[in-house]
Amino acid sequence: MNVGTASAAPGERATGTLEVTDLPTGGAERLPVILARGEREGPTLWLTGGIHGNEVTGVAAVQDVLRGGVSASGGSPDEADGVPEGLRGTVVCVPMCNPAGIRRVERTSYYHDDDPNRHFPPAEGDATRRRVQELIDERLYEAVVDSADALLDVHTAQVGSVPFVIRDRVLHGERREEGDAEALAERLAALADATGIPVVTEYPAEEYADRNLHRSTAGAVLNEAGVPSLTVELGGHETIAEPHRAAGVAAAYRAMVHLGMLDAVPEGIEAAAPTLESPVAFPVRRFRGPNASAAGFCRPRLEPGAAFAEGDPLADVVSPHGEARETVAAPADGYVLGWPSPTTYENDPVASLAVRDDDGLVVPRS
């Protein structure tokens, strides 16, 4: 098994790098790679992190999966590093997919200052006109789909956000027939449930396309390559949250068990992970909003993770002097995922929510 310069024989763990572009000052932009290969054949699970450079809990979680779940601040790396006992198949970890963003702890890279998680898979057309970030994403995408049987792309959301797993809708029409899409959606739903983290379905199809999410890492690997892929959101950004890091590691091991790569999650990894449950019993999808009609400072009434009913007050928009200008109400039943910046302009969405979802998981690509 080879990914870039990392090469492992059965029973081995290896580290290396995947070169994705040359640098004008010499050398190359390299993504760190950690892989472990079991003694027996089996599926290949890819874990990617750090495509947004300030989402550092995701970086730490992917770094620690093949260290027995041990964080850098606890345990002995020498004792932890190795191949998970009884592993069948291969685990590939790429914890820093956006080194140019990680260097400055920013969401974007400094190549173009746009979202690096919107350029998968390769764009159609003249390859000589693709920008550097597009080329980097293309080369990473090709490495993933060359061997992956499943992918967990690990992120964080807003400051203070609760952890959740994003399940993309499966598109049909151009890449696959509706029946094939239904089968893929079933595999995806089973993988999402196996992680032990509350599941939130992605935006409705039209908004999904408008936001270019079909070209995110998980969206592209799922809908272009047909590989079950999830986006794992581990709380807030810019600082490593230990319970959420442990939840991410445990989610990876639960995925391995689900895929038949392990018989059970190691006791220490399961014990370190917090129990995460959805506060509502119905299926939910992502929703950014509602929008404020007045500019001001957003003052939430509910904590992340709190459930609400349609029409309940969610937040108040106040003037610079603290006087109430508007109370924003819930558009549907659901719960709070997190709160964006409190600085609110006219028509800005004030919250990140999980709201009741009655739509299908399989939708036409158009």
* Strand spans (E) along 202-306: 229-233, 284-288, 296-300
**41 and 161 housed in the same domain:** yes
Question: With a threshold of 0.85, does the pTM exceed it?
Answer: yes
Q: Which of 272, 295, 320 is the last residue of a domain?
A: 272
Please tell me the predicted confidence (pLDDT) of residue 198.
98
The CATH number covering residue 246 comes to 3.40.630.10
179 within a domain of the structure (yes/no):
yes
Q: Residue 251: what pLDDT?
A: 98
> Is the separation of the CB atoms in 62 and 47 below 8 Å?
yes
Q: Which residue's structure tokens are 């350029």?
A: 119
Residue 291 sits in the same domain as residue 268: no
Give the residue from 225, 251, 272 where a domain finishes. 272
Measured CA to CA, the distance from residue 33 to residue 39 in angstroms comes to: 20
Contact (CB, 8 A) for 105 and 238: yes
Token readout for 141 is 């995408």
**Same domain, residue pair 89 and 170:** yes
pLDDT for the residue 317: 97
Is residue 162 in some structural domain?
Answer: yes
The whole domain housing 35 covers 2-272
The pLDDT score that the predictor gives to residue 80 is 65
Any domain includes 94: yes
What is the Cα 262 distance to its own chain's centre?
22
Instruction: Find the CATH number of the domain harbouring 322.
Output: 2.40.50.100
Per DSSP bridges, beta strands 170-172 and 362-364 are parallel
Domain boundary among the residues 248, 272, 296 is at: 272
Residues 172, 220: one domain? yes
Low-confidence ranges of the chain (pLDDT < 50): 77-78
Q: Which of 208, 280, 190, 199 is nearest to 232 (CA)?
A: 199
Burial of 41 (0-12, 13-18, 19+ CB in 10 A): exposed
Q: What pLDDT does residue 222 have?
A: 97
Q: Give bridge partners of residue 171 from the DSSP assignment.
A: 363
* Domains identified in the chain, total number: 2
Q: What is the pLDDT of residues 32-50, one digit of tens each?
A: 999 999 999 999 999 999 9
Domain shared by 332 and 230, yes or no: no
Question: Based on the domain organization, do 120 and 44 belong to the same domain?
Answer: yes
Alpha-carbon distances of 12 from 40, 82, 94, 108, 340, rounded to whole Å = 11, 7, 17, 34, 43
The reply to whether 97 and 222 lie within a common domain is yes
Residues 218 and 106 reside in one and the same domain: yes
Do 244 and 325 sit in the same domain of this protein? Answer: no
Same domain, 260 and 339: no
The answer to the question of residue 278 being in a domain is: no
What pLDDT score does 75 carry? 61
The verdict on 251 and 318 lying in the same domain is: no
Number of neighbouring beta carbons within 10 Å of residue 119: 25
**201 and 229 both lie in a single domain:** yes
The confidence score (pLDDT) of residue 57 equals 97
Q: Would you say residue 36 lies in a domain?
A: yes
Closest to 108 (Cα-Cα) out of 63, 70, 69, 51 = 51
